[in-house]
Amino acid sequence: MAIEKREYDCAKECDDVMKLVVKVVSELKAKKPVAEVATGSLTELMAALSGIDQVDDEWAADRSAVLKTAVLGAVDIVDALTAKAPEAAPEPPAAA
C-alpha cells in the first residue's frame, strides 16, 4: 500500500473544538478522574469557546477546509477511542 502525504488548509476554530474533544476522549479512555480531565482541559476549552461563534464564518469562507478539519478530527477521535488503554500500574504488596 502506498501512502501519499498531502497538506490541507485547516479551519482554525473547528480544529480547536476537535482537538479539545480528542484530548478529553483520550484522557477519559486513560481512566483519569473527570475533575482532572476538566481542569486539565481548561485552556483548550477556553480556546475552543472563544472562537465557536466564528465557525459559521469559516463555513461561509471555505466549506472544504471546515469539512476536511472535521473529518480529520473525527479520525483522531476514532483513533483515541480505539487506542489500547494504558496498563494499570501493579499495586504494591500489602504490608503484613
Task: Output the nine-digit C-alpha cell for 2.
Answer: 502506498
> How far is residue 35's CA from residue 86's CA, in Å, rounded to a whole number?
19
Q: Could you tell me what percent of the chain has a pLDDT over 70?
A: 89
Tens of pLDDT along 21-33? 999 999 999 899 9
| Structure confidence at residue 71 (pLDDT) | 95
